[in-house]
Structure 1
Amino acid sequence: MRYLPIDSQLFVQNRQRLTALLKPKSLVVVNANDIMPTNADGTMVFRQNNDLFYLTGVDQEETRLVLFPEHPDPKFREVLFLRETSELIEIWEGHKLTKAEAEQVTGLPQKQVYWMHQFEQIFGQMVFEADHIYLNTNEHTRATVDVQSRDARYIAEFRERYPLHQLERLAPLMHYLRAIKQPQEIPLIQTAIDITDKMFRRLLGFIKPGVWEYEIEAEMMHEFLRNRSRGAAYSPIIASGANACVLHYIDNSQQCQDGDVILLDIGAEYANYNADMTRSIPVNGRFTARQRAVYEAVLRVMKEATQMLRPGNLWDEYHREVGKVMESELIGLGLLDRTDVQNQDPDAPLYKKYFMHGTSHFLGLDVHDVGNKYRKMEPGMVFTVEPGIYIREEKLGIRLENNVLITESGNIDLMKNIPLEVEEIEEMMQ
């Protein structure tokens, strides 16, 4: 892997935290992701199942973790299955984990690491002692799953082979655990953010009238890759002019024009953890009076929203309060009428015309990380803060986004060092 080794105690502790939540006599099975095909004999770049990585640190395909904390035989309480390598695999694909290396990565003793072809033999000595079987599914509220995953296939296989066992949902437990970042996780997120900082400073000296959006993307990728990142944490949005009013614009194919503002929603990945940053900057290095007014309105909303991220607050209440701040700013910009706002349908607020997305989401191993919006905010949670104003008739879209860690004593802006103020942006672009 490109990233530096991670202390295996993180994964040991994550497994302990999960087993503490299980029902009596429970068994857990967690699978690696598939390697997805493209066309002919091509494949996509492998991306590990985040729950498996969270529990093991293994970043390799054809991997399976089985946990059974109450099994009578201690060697069957935590078992890892790996793809067995061969000389042919070494030649064509490269190195795969040995059992000794798996012990270093996961903190599991070598005697509890087996090859995948041994799975049924070992699993048969475990499954019949269990009363509850926890299997995984993608229960992210924003997920649209149109392809069958390895998890889905395994659920079908398990039901056919062991039809009388009681199945349980693993996802709610993983969402609960992963929402609170462990002390070892914060530096990994911070590293992704620091790489993003370096990238943005590079772009501030590169962007000028006439440059193409895809050239900016190339500069971004250069800085990511040279700093041990696998690349972008998500499809980058490099949207100049009217493109900035398309929330998920990813073509990055237009030329940047003098007088336009360009919206950059780009973040680095590091060790499977993600940064998520948005900045909006003038292509020619200077905001017009109108552009600056809109920018500073968004910045004020961002700063107030950041202060609202506190332990004990609820997701929906937080977003309603941010909406009120945005209403005031839009009135100040002449985009909304105060009387109309006072008479609006509270279930269809008028600010949604110009600010149509949410302000925050969980961040971690997923860019839109797992978590439960009905759970009160707690120390250890990491959120984005990303208000925006999109004025299609003016071909102007401005969004600003930082990543914030909630603590007992308030919150910490993990992106506080990345240029944000108007004067700072303009000075660095000169």
Structure 2
Amino acid sequence: MTIDSSEYRQRREKLMQKIGQGTAIFRSAPTAVMHNDVEYIFRQDSDFFYLTGFNEPEAVAVFAPHHEEHHFILFVQPKDPEKETWTGYRCGIEAAKEKYGADIAYSITELNEKLPDYLKKADRIYYHLGRDKHFNEVILSHWQRLMATYPKRGTGPIAIEDTNPILHPMRQVKSASELKMLRQAMDISAAAHNRAREFVKVGHYEYQIQAEIEHTFKLHGGIGPAYPSIVASGSNACILHYIENNRQIQENDLLLIDAGCSYGYYNGDITRTFPVNGKFTGEQKAIYELVLEAQLKAIEEVKPGNPYNEFHDIAVCVLVQGLIDLGLLKGDLEEIIKEEKYKPFYMHKTGHWLGLDVHDAGVYKKDEENWHPLLPGHVLTVEPGIYIGKDIKPAEGQPEIPERWRGIGIRIEDDILVTETGYEVLTSAVPKAIDEII
């Protein structure tokens, strides 16, 4: 399952319509060293991949709609049989043009020589000054040289503008093809969660559960984990990004699994929490019911036109009222929320965009006061939780936490598509109702 070349072309055309007389430049992801001369598995930059589908390092894509001959230009590594013997096959210059639809392709070694031709008549450069400091300097030096000759020529880029505000709104709304990729990633993620729940038992180590999850990802054609898998038993579930996964699971433990599969660079992101021995303690059940209620009510607020923050605000209201009812918070609901006295129990937001990146491209607020409205085609997570760490310190004026509550961490997360009329839970294949998980 892949994205058709025609869709990549449509994306490029849409981008070029937006930049007008400008020139946009995108750099591939750098290779990263694990240790000594051993590299991590390459993962392409999401913006670069979204526009090109090209999955090799040491590449640059240039978009110059104003140019007389070439609008889409690729700079890539040339074929080199000797190096390919060691590091794998390269597409090469000619195939890059034919396979990926570039008007022309050059060797990456020709970038500094050829790039000025695509910049000198542009009114601005569109480029995101990202983490590749060396390449940032390359772009800035080209711009400075062109600015130095601007008075004599009367043309050239007088500004550099970030590509994110142009490209990322395009990435936020998913196409039908992207939704197919996301559904596949989520279906594999769901299968892995269900396998983990069947496999786990008291005495297993967390890493054994992780192995079953990630084996399922690869078994079904996934690239691998979308992010480091979290398999957190007992009080480890109170660590939001716990990834050590080395504790032996004990009797009466809850197990929190936050894991998702990457399929064709599109990502699933699911969290479930359940009792390993099939039985909740009274305190565990009370917190689980509260988190589940918050999640279900939050999901109901995912609909077109609603501001992004609305589902989070609903989740917070439900969680805070529930903690008051359980005696873990005291005081007026609105005052507790306003003063954020619930934060020792719930310190994160209730969701994020999801797509080519796990925390996907796109803004959450339109401006300082207004949140971005949800639109059909948006995909996001809804993931409330409560975390009562062993060393939790209540907010000022709040009650001390009895020992029987300490060490309970619960999060429930689903991936949600905003539809024309409401929402669709894309990860409903993983049970979360109490009578389905015990």
Fold agreement, TM-score > 0.5: yes
1:121-160 maps to which residues of 2 (within 5 A)?
121-138=113-130, 148-149=132-133, 151-160=135-144
Residue in 1 that maps onto 2:15: 18
Between stretches 173-182 and 151-160, larger displacement belongs to: 151-160
Give the SS at the match of 2:214: helix
Residue in 1 that maps onto 2:197: 204
Counterpart of 1:217 (choices 210, 216, 224) is 210
Residue in 1 that maps onto 2:437: 425
8 Å CA contact retained: 2:28, 2:57? yes
Give the SS at the match of 2:39: coil
Indicate yes or no: 2:63 matched with 1:67. Answer: yes
Give the SS at the match of 1:351: coil
Residue in 2 that maps onto 1:88: 82
Distance 1:49 1:67 in 2: 17
Give the SS at the match of 1:404: strand
Indicate yes or no: 2:35 matched with 1:51. Answer: no
Distance 2:308 2:2 in 1: 35
Distance 1:6 1:277 in 2: 24
Give the SS at the match of 1:353: coil
Distance 1:104 1:419 in 2: 46
Give the SS at the match of 2:117: coil
Q: Which residue type is aligned with residue 407 of structure 1?
A: T
Counterpart of 1:378 (choices 358, 375, 378) is 375
Counterpart of 1:190 (choices 183, 195, 203) is 183
8 Å CA contact retained: 1:137, 1:171? no
Distance 1:336 1:105 in 2: 61
Indicate yes or no: 2:29 matched with 1:38. Answer: no
8 Å CA contact retained: 1:6, 1:105? no
8 Å CA contact retained: 1:266, 1:278? yes
- TM-score under structure 1 length normalisation: 0.89
Distance 1:122 1:188 in 2: 36
Give the SS at the match of 2:387: strand
Q: 1:365 to 1:21 in 2, by over 3 A?
A: same
1:19-418 maps to which residues of 2 (within 5 A)?
19-22=16-19, 24-73=20-69, 76-99=70-93, 101-102=95-96, 106=100, 108-109=101-102, 112-138=104-130, 148-149=132-133, 151-164=135-148, 165=157, 166-337=159-330, 339-344=331-336, 346-374=337-365, 375-393=372-390, 394-418=406-430
Residue in 1 that maps onto 2:369: none
Displacement of 1:371 after TM fit?
1.0
Aligned-residue CA RMSD in angstroms? 2.0
Q: 1:151 to 1:333 in 2, by over 3 A?
A: farther
Number of corresponding residues: 408
Q: 1:362 to 1:168 in 2, by over 3 A?
A: same
Give the SS at the match of 1:250: coil
- TM-score under structure 2 length normalisation: 0.88
8 Å CA contact retained: 1:216, 1:238? yes
Distance 2:146 2:221 in 1: 44
Distance 1:401 1:215 in 2: 22
Displacement of 1:153 after TM fit?
4.0
Displacement of 1:116 after TM fit?
1.7
8 Å CA contact retained: 1:25, 1:70? yes
Q: Which residue type is aligned with residue 229 of structure 1?
A: G
Q: 1:372 to 1:115 in 2, by over 3 A?
A: same
Distance 1:158 1:408 in 2: 45
Give the SS at the match of 1:184: helix
Displacement of 1:317 after TM fit?
4.1
8 Å CA contact retained: 1:56, 1:105? no
Between stretches 327-336 and 40-49, larger displacement belongs to: 327-336
8 Å CA contact retained: 1:382, 1:403? yes
Displacement of 1:97 after TM fit?
1.3
List per-residue Cα deviations over 1:300-359 (Å, max 9, x = no partner): 11111111112222233443233212222222333222x343543x54223222111100
Between stretches 159-168 and 38-47, larger displacement belongs to: 159-168
Displacement of 1:36 after TM fit?
1.4
